[in-house]
Amino acid sequence: MKKIFVSLCATITLICWCSAVNAQISDTEKNDGFVSMFNGKDLTEWDGNPNLWSVKDNCIVGQTESKGDAKLTYNQFIIWKGGDVSDFVFRADIKLSPNGNSGFQYRSKKNSGNKQFSLNGYQADFDGNHQHSGILYGENFGGILCQRGLESVIEKGQKSKTVKRFAENNTLKKELKADDWNSYEIIADGFTFTHKINGHVMSITKDEDNEKRRKSGIFAIQAHVGPPMKVEIKNLRIKFIDNKK
pLDDT in tens, 110-130: 999 999 999 999 999 999 999
Strand (E) or helix (H) holding 192: strand 192-197
- Residues 6+ away with beta carbon under 8 Å from 160: 142, 144, 145, 146, 152, 153, 154, 205
Q: How many CB atoms lie within 10 A of CB 136?
A: 29
Secondary structure class of 17 (helix, strand, coil): helix
pLDDT in tens, 128-161: 999 999 999 999 999 999 999 999 999 999 999 9
Strand (E) or helix (H) holding 78: strand 76-80
What is each CA distance from 190 to 197, 203, 214, 217, in whole angstroms? Answer: 21, 16, 10, 13
Which residues face 92 on adjacent strands? Answer: 184
Q: How many CB atoms lie within 10 A of CB 132?
A: 18
Find out whether 154 and 208 touch, Cβ atoms under 8 Å. Answer: yes
- Decide if pLDDT at 218 tops 50: yes
pLDDT in tens, 56-103: 999 999 999 755 555 789 999 999 999 999 999 999 999 999 989 999
Separation of alpha carbons 178 and 218, rounded Å:
28
Can you give the pTM of this predicted structure?
Answer: 0.89
